[in-house]
A = this chain, B = another copy of it.
Amino acid sequence: VARVLLDARNLPDLARGCAVLGTGGGGDPLVGLLMALQAIEAHGPVPLADLDDLPDDGLLMPCGGMGAPTISIEKFGEGSEGARLREHVERLRGRPVVALMSTEIGGSNGLRPIAWAAAMGLPVVDADGMGRAFPQMFQKTMEVAGLSPTPAVMTDERGNTLTIEHVRDGRWLERTMRAVAVEWGARACTSSYQLTVAQARTATIRGSVSLALHIGAVIREAREDPVAELVAVLAGHRLLDGKIVDVERRTTGGFARGTATVEGDGRTLVVEVQNENLVAREDGRVVASVPDLITVIDAQTAETIGTQRLRYGQRVSVIAFPCDPIWRTARGLEVAGPRAFGFDFDFVPVERLHG
């Protein structure tokens, strides 16, 4: 099997694609891109492994950063966090890690495991635990599949390291890790929900790294109307083209929260944010919501604008597109549907809202 190598030629496309799938969150992709490029320059390219290329009982380490994207552009980590996560995961699981996996393909978290894998000489698998980005630690396909979140490992740039041996459930993992992350400065690196290759075949979003690469290439190569070309490849919907007229944003409780308001064509769209873009409303009516994906992109270039970079006056398109089917199952909606975020409405697929 000819494997794709992740290197300086394709990483910028990957970063573009991760940004789109990040729905505004997952950490700033530019930071992850620079880290990955630097690590690959030092250690060589990283193989992108298909799950079928790895031994069934091989241990995968999902990993990434957690915290507020507003902090992700201020506090980068110092590079050895991935090695510490691996050391403790291997100690706790009693066997070697065969490949790293992004906990979430969205944002910087789609790229950071590549930086760590380069230094370790390990591959990254073509899969992730969300197919997008979500703010809370338990909002993963592994949780939907019933896998245990523990043992989970957390570390920061100071070397502070802790292991969560047991939690009552994924929500207690989130509560505990979030409290620590806030205390550590609203960013930390984590691994939870480790799994075997065999488990990953049904408990992850397969092919998401390839998808992000493809999305990135489409944006880079687009000529006429990049927004339209991106929407087409995502089977998505162009909710509104317009200007950002208001951004309300605060970093609180370890999350970036707020709203962005876009006006255009006499219409007004409000996007509600908790790290990621969660809900888009027009005149109070929901026009797209989690777990479907809502991304704010540059109206000209179709490059994504993360929640941490939204500003008054930007000319944007707000697009929405369908999530992986796993998130539309009953258990998927329990974990990451509107009500999991405290919204009092039921999920309606974006293609039905705009049918």
A positions within 8 Å CB-CB of B? 88, 158-168, 172, 175-176, 178-180, 182-184
Contact = CB atoms under 8 A, between A and B. Distances in A.
Contacts of A178: 183
A38 to B, nearest CB: 25
Contacts of A179: 179-180, 182-183
The winner among A165, A167, A175 for most chain B CB atoms within 10 A is A165
A163 B160 contact: no
Given A158-B172, A161-B167, 7 more contacts: A88-B165, A160-B166, A160-B168, A163-B163, A176-B183, A176-B184, A179-B179
Contact of A166 (B159, B164, B184): B159
Contacts of A175: 183
A166 to B, nearest CB: 4
Nearest to A151: B163
Nearest to A163: B163
B160 A162 contact: no
Given A176-B180, A182-B179, A183-B179, A161 B164 contact: yes
A89 to B, nearest CB: 12
A162 B183 contact: no
A184 B163 CA distance: 16
A158 B159 CA distance: 28
B162 A164 contact: yes
Contacts of A159: 166, 168
Contacts of A164: 160-163
Contacts of A166: 159-161
Q: What 7 pairs between A and B have smallest CB-CB spacing? A: A179-B183, A179-B179, A161-B165, A162-B164, A163-B163, A161-B166, A158-B168
A165 B162 contact: yes
A94 to B, nearest CB: 12
B180 A160 contact: no
A178 to B, nearest CB: 8
A182 B176 CA distance: 9
Contacts of A162: 162-165, 176
Contacts of A167: 160-161
Contacts of A160: 164, 166-168, 172, 176
Contacts of A163: 162-165
Nearest to A174: B183
A184 B175 CA distance: 8
